[in-house]
Chains A and B, each alone.
Chain A
Amino acid sequence: MELSEALEKRRSIRSFSSRPVSEDQLLALAQAGRLAPSASNLQSWQFFFLTDPELVKKVDLFSPGLSGHPPVILVICSDMGYAKVHGSPNSERYGCIMDAAMAAENIMLKALDLGLGSCAVKSYNDAAVRKLLKLPEDYRIEILISLGYPEGEVRPRRLRPMEELLHFNAWQEEV
């Protein structure tokens, strides 16, 4: 799929079929994620693909923002211990979050390319998901992404008008 087409077509998918996602597809998604830009080239991201149905169901239960019963949930974490040693104070403040977000977009576009749907989710219970995944103390959960084959119709897209967002050069008051 051409990049421009993928950018236009990518939507947040909130309904999934039970069709399984292959390990090869997940590896391709991980590869897309690690190709993303990273502040100071830190790459402190850690990708957890949840494929065990029991674990997926439990994380789903504790994530009110997840919907559509995805067969796979990706949990992107940052290894803050690694970031502390190899990064800077800004890595903790925003660098790792930015990195995870950029990796997430790469992964969601690659998912579309593979015929998969995805939805980025921040509405999860951090304490519960940490416990379910048995995460090390210095791992920070940045974002969840639901993954699977889409089912049903996609909702209409609402975009703010370009004129509300676009500027050339310095900010100017409207006349």
Chain B
Amino acid sequence: MRQEDYLELLIYMVTSAAGLPGEPRIYGPLRMIEASERLCGLMLKEDPGNPDLAELQEIIRAGKGKTTSDEEGFYQMLQDAAAKLTDMI
């Protein structure tokens, strides 16, 4: 894995933490799940054929944009993503 990939995730997490005190409450879960999706992407680079990681990434991608249009759908996606992780342990 390239150090640059980790650095990009690190920048995203730190700048999110710096900005969240002034952001809407729902942006906390949004930034966390966005970071999770990015981490998932890094893991997929190392294990491109992993169907569970690909499905988890798809669950997050399909639901993360609902923060401002469908809050219930967004929170349901978080639950679905958490449930998906049980397939991976």
Contact = CB atoms under 8 A, between A and B. Distances in A.
Contacts of A155: 65-66, 69
Given A64-B12, A64-B34, A123 B19 contact: yes
Interface string B1-37: 0000000100110011011000100010001001000
Interface residues of B, number: 16
B68 interface: yes
Nearest to B13: A64
Task: Using C-beta atoms within 8 Å of the partner chain, give the interface range for chain A.
Answer: 10 to 19
A14 B68 CA distance: 13
Given A62-B15, A64-B34, A123-B19, A158 B27 contact: no
B21 to A, nearest CB: 12
Interface in A53-94: 61-65
Interface of B: 8, 11-12, 15-16, 18-19, 23, 27, 31, 34, 65-66, 68-70
